[in-house]
Structure 1
Amino acid sequence: MTMAISLPSRPQPPVRPSAVTDICDGRIFAVSGYVPAARPATWILSGLEGHLAVSCYVLIDGGHAMIIDTGLAAHRDEVGRSISWLLADCRRRELIMTRREPDAIINLPFLVKEVELDAVFCGGVLNPLDFFERVDQKSLESHVSAIAHASVEWAKPGSALPIGALSLEILRTTVVVLPKTHLYEQRTGTLFGSDTWGFLSQLGTSSLDIVTAWDERLSRGSIARYLRHKFDWLCGIDTSVIEADLALLKQYDIRRICSTYGGVIEGALLASRVIDETIEAVQLLSREPIVDRLKGFDRTIFEAAL
């Protein structure tokens, strides 16, 4: 008589949190929450339909993880659970911010405590002769220290941060309101565009939308409407420097664009076309009238102060 031997079952890995999307072969993940696209927020372009994803990204290789931005406070618990799940086997844990603004770093204090970060990076130019740059640097260091009890390490544009076999290059950009950097991962060809291309809304919220084919949302007209809303200082100025800055991105092998807001733009040809459309959108804005920020205010108050 043969007796069956019962072997102990192997524990199953916990189910991947619904907020997590594998962007690139288990090396790049998005952690996304969603807000109604019709939400009355200054950073959301009016007229969008459905929902707008707000994502932070996690790069993982060789037991080393790099978090890019932190998501919104409204999604804090979900962000924490998702990132903790992703980083379970990571020995080194770091974070870099693309912008020094609340919607990019609001969850930093929580993540410092939740996942025990080894380092927090910020892109910037360290020039001791530039007084305002130095003041800005010290201001950010003090801010992060106060809210998160963490120190900031500065990564100069053109430098690269290793994440295992991955390499994240710091790219300074002129498409900004406050200091901002683009980030480029060389091995996967991924551009992290922060809020530069933050306009791709989606109908559902079950997973992050990955756009693989051109549609009207990616046209120069649509991009111009978003840029005008987000960066209205582009209107009526000489944008040649901005156009040249964007054109420099064409030197990189960009196979996808990951934005803080909205869906992922997937594919080298599509990413290249979107950058071209963005350059032409900036050209369109240069021919528009300068935005009058004092409209609706009593100008005499400001003129009297001059």
Structure 2
Amino acid sequence: MFTKLKNDKLVVLGGLIPLDGRVSWVPAGSTGFQPSNCYLLSECGAAALALGSAAGDSHLLIDSGVALHAQQILDDLAALIGEGGALSVFFTRAEMDCVSNLEPIARSFDIQRLFTGGVINPFDAFEDLNLMALRGRRHQIDAMRSGEGDSLARAASIDIGPSRVLEIEAPLLRLLMTFWGWDAETGTLFTSDTFTHGTMQRPDDSRIIDSTVEDTTTPEQVAGHLFAKYEWLPRATCEPLREWLAAKFDELDPEIIAPSRGCVLRGRDVVRRHLDYMLTALTPQHAGLVRQGA
């Protein structure tokens, strides 16, 4: 079931992943459930209607979730934009937890634009998509706004509607080619596979950490999840990462952190607290604890 984060302008979709020892991107021994997230951004109203949207809405889906949750995501999209509705899609990474549901979404909805980055072709995993015109709708994410390279249309930002833009940036903290998105309209920073540490003990717990729920997160928990994915970090010089993160959050002052996995963090006090946890996790002291197996 989808959850509205900012009225109809921002909705989180996706299901839960049981943490039962079979998931490699969480710390060993993790229990409970981890949300798998994709996000629908919608620009609604008379302005969008005036510019030609038949329903008065423009929709951008950020990531598509894991294949396990395909039907749930299709049902939620149909409820939100209508059966066969039009939308654009932006992939923050070309990894399967982000791109797995491209094919079923393309079969059920009208994908107008597809925004991807890096050298990995997201179509390679889906043979049937070779027969579709969707290839011609792909835009290459280019944070440097370069006109050089392949023949694809290139973009450093994505227009959601006539008055709303998703700004794209390649983060300093990444493993493969990864992009973050910034939606000033809702104050949301989409962080892909960073800030994924929020988990749920029961399926009916909130998938959002905000001021209304008890937050038991610790810097050690954040470090465990961070190093499970970025296993090289404990051996790296992390001060540049800490400086980049601190500067970026000072610049944007986000109200919501929206990762591709893990609980959504909502509220500036919550965001700042979890940023502090992340900065602490990136200190040499925490890296040393991981090296020692603590």
1:65 is aligned to 2:82:
no
1:29 is aligned to 2:11:
yes
In 2, Cα distance between equivalents of 1:285 and 1:140 = 39
In 2, Cα distance between equivalents of 1:105 and 1:242 = 27
1:38 is aligned to 2:37:
no
RMSD of aligned alpha carbons: 2.5
Asked whether the 8 Å contact 1:224–1:282 carries over to 2, the reply is yes
Aligned residues: 260
- Other structure's SS at 1:232 match: coil
Aligned-residue offset at 1:183: 1.0
Which residue in the other structure is 2:157 paired with?
A: 160
Residue 92 to residue 253, structure 1, CA distance change in 2 (3 Å):
farther
Asked whether the 8 Å contact 1:232–1:291 carries over to 2, the reply is no
In 2, Cα distance between equivalents of 1:117 and 1:84 = 13
Aligned-residue offset at 1:49: 2.9
Residue 240 to residue 74, structure 1, CA distance change in 2 (3 Å):
same
Which residue in the other structure is 1:237 paired with?
A: 236
In 2, Cα distance between equivalents of 1:113 and 1:207 = 32
- Other structure's SS at 1:216 match: coil
Written as runs of structure 1 = structure 2, the 5 A alignment for 1:1-306 is 19-62=1-44, 63-88=57-82, 92-122=86-116, 124=117, 136-137=118-119, 139-140=120-121, 143=124, 146=127, 148-149=129-130, 150-151=134-135, 152-157=138-143, 159-164=156-161, 165-206=163-204, 208-213=206-211, 215-217=215-217, 219-250=218-249, 251-284=251-284, 287-288=287-288
Which one has a bigger Cα radius of gyration?
1
Aligned-residue offset at 1:160: 2.3
When normalised by structure 2's length, the TM-score is: 0.80
In 2, Cα distance between equivalents of 1:73 and 1:142 = 15
Residue 95 to residue 111, structure 1, CA distance change in 2 (3 Å):
same
Aligned-residue offset at 1:169: 0.9
When normalised by structure 1's length, the TM-score is: 0.77
Moved more, 171-180 or 188-197: 171-180
Asked whether the 8 Å contact 1:97–1:104 carries over to 2, the reply is yes
Asked whether the 8 Å contact 2:78–2:84 carries over to 1, the reply is no
- Other structure's SS at 1:66 match: strand
Aligned-residue offset at 1:143: 2.5
- Other structure's SS at 2:232 match: helix
Aligned-residue offset at 1:46: 2.7
Unaligned 5+ runs, structure 1: 1-18, 125-135, 293-306
Asked whether the 8 Å contact 1:256–1:264 carries over to 2, the reply is yes
Aligned-residue offset at 1:194: 1.1
Amino acid at match of 1:177: L
Unaligned 5+ runs, structure 2: 45-56, 145-155
Aligned-residue offset at 1:197: 1.3
In 2, Cα distance between equivalents of 1:21 and 1:39 = 27
- Other structure's SS at 1:93 match: strand
Asked whether the 8 Å contact 1:96–1:121 carries over to 2, the reply is yes
In 2, Cα distance between equivalents of 1:91 and 1:53 = 25
In 2, Cα distance between equivalents of 1:67 and 1:207 = 24
State the identity as a percent. Answer: 21
Moved more, 236-245 or 97-106: 236-245
Aligned-residue offset at 1:234: 0.7
Amino acid at match of 1:157: A
Asked whether the 8 Å contact 1:175–1:231 carries over to 2, the reply is no
Aligned-residue offset at 1:287: 4.6
Amino acid at match of 1:120: L
In 2, Cα distance between equivalents of 1:254 and 1:90 = 33
Aligned-residue offset at 1:154: 1.5
In 2, Cα distance between equivalents of 1:285 and 1:142 = 42
Asked whether the 8 Å contact 1:68–1:98 carries over to 2, the reply is yes
What do residues 247-298 of structure 1 show as CA deviations (whole Å, max 9, x unaligned)?
2322103001112112111101221221222122112367538979xxxxxx
